[in-house]
Amino acid sequence: MTKLNSHFYVAIMAGGIGSRFWPHSRTDNPKQFLDILNTGKTLLQWTYERFAQFIPKENIFVVTHQQYTTKVSDQLPELPTANIVSEPSRKNTAPCVAYISHKIHKQDPLANIICAPADHLIVDGPAFTSACLNALLFVQKHSALLTLGIKPTRPDTGYGYIQFEPQQVADNVYQVKTFTEKPNLELAKTFLQSGDFLWNAGIFVWNVKTILAAFKQYLPEIDELFEQSTFALNTPQEKEAIEKVYPQCTNISIDYGIMEKASNVYVIPSNFGWSDLGTWASAYENLEKDYLGNAVQGKNVVVIDATKCMVKVPNDKLVLLQGLDEFIVIDTQDVLLICKKENEQHVKEYVSEIKRNKGEKFL
């Protein structure tokens, strides 16, 4: 096996609560820690294994909410405890990236880092490895903020889009023209037809000095907070210092805070069987279906005259489903969700409604 590059790192972001996968995903056990697709491994475990193919294991970090550090440790026993980086509160991706970037920079000023979510599905491992290595080698030589873009297969309104310039600047690397947040269907169709738009996978690659320079320029107040706590990073004082920093951080994503403002942003168009597994419909797309198009998880489900449903119920429960077309049916010990598939983008709003009316007991 070839020697892995000691200046290549990955920060797996695993602090979210996955509310679109409610009621299976809960605050105390969110989707990155679940085996959503019945594969025998959780999404976090798959993500770790994917990166361990080409990143030295000691250079793999998992950034998570302090509530989940034990879960990470239980699911990834081979990960050193020091590589589980715990956030005292959820402040979106910019503070998360600032924290891990300052921490890694103190350890290795020559580091090149991939920042990636813990809960995505990637089918073609070798193609993913190839895209990541191409990205790491590019940012090692250029002052670039790079993202992996996915060649769209349909006009999806659930993803952000990246438009890129036609001329490549290096092997399969293009300069980014614009970022567009989730578009309406008409716009998504136009993007698909134009051929110069990609889905934004939220997988970022950069040299540590480049990202820290971008923070100084575009989010100086966040950078300053972490700069002041550098003395404590990678020491026993780190936890206490970070607990003082986080309440002062703006709640902002790395996309809004830096990527959409910077001029040195590049993209690698990729095709490695990606899904962000953001919703039950995306899980449905990736599961085996019966002859009526139903994706059924549960050993005692009887389907009569129902089509294209996403069904997940406990194995010991008998469920008879009759006459439903294109529904999501998710049953847990204390919650039953029955929702039209076309409304699944609203599950997050339904969860907020439940929080208002029923408190946090069912979340």
Query: For the segment 281-306, what is each residue's pLDDT rounded down to a tens digit?
Result: 889 988 999 999 999 999 999 999 99
Residue 309 has pLDDT above 50, yes or no: yes
Angstrom distance (rounded) from CA 94 to CA 251:
8
What's residue 298's pLDDT? 93
Q: What is the pLDDT of residues 83-101, one digit of tens each?
A: 999 999 999 999 999 999 9
What's residue 3's pLDDT? 67
Residue 13: name the closest of 54, 47, 36, 58 by CA. 47
Q: Which domain holds residue 21?
A: 8-275
Asked if the structure places residue 3 within a domain, the reply is no
- Beta carbons of 63 and 83 less than 8 angstroms apart: no
Asked if the structure places residue 340 within a domain, the reply is yes
Q: Does one domain contain both 214 and 334?
A: no
CA angle 99, 96, 20 (to 5 degrees): 165
What's residue 1's pLDDT? 41
What's residue 183's pLDDT? 79
- HSE-up (13 A, CA, CB side) for residue 65: 16
Q: Does one domain contain both 65 and 192?
A: yes
Q: Does one domain contain both 94 and 131?
A: yes
Last residue of a domain, one of 275, 299, 319: 275
Residue 2 has pLDDT above 60, yes or no: no
Q: Does one domain contain both 268 and 176?
A: yes
Residue 12: name the closest of 255, 41, 265, 57 by CA. 57
What domain count does the chain have? 2
Angstrom distance (rounded) from CA 100 to CA 242:
11
Q: What is the pLDDT of residues 204-222, one digit of tens each?
A: 999 999 999 999 999 999 9
Provide mean pLDDT across the span 165-169. 93
Q: Does one domain contain both 258 and 298?
A: no
- Evaluate if pTM is beyond 0.85: yes
Which one is predicted more confidently, 86 or 188?
A: 86
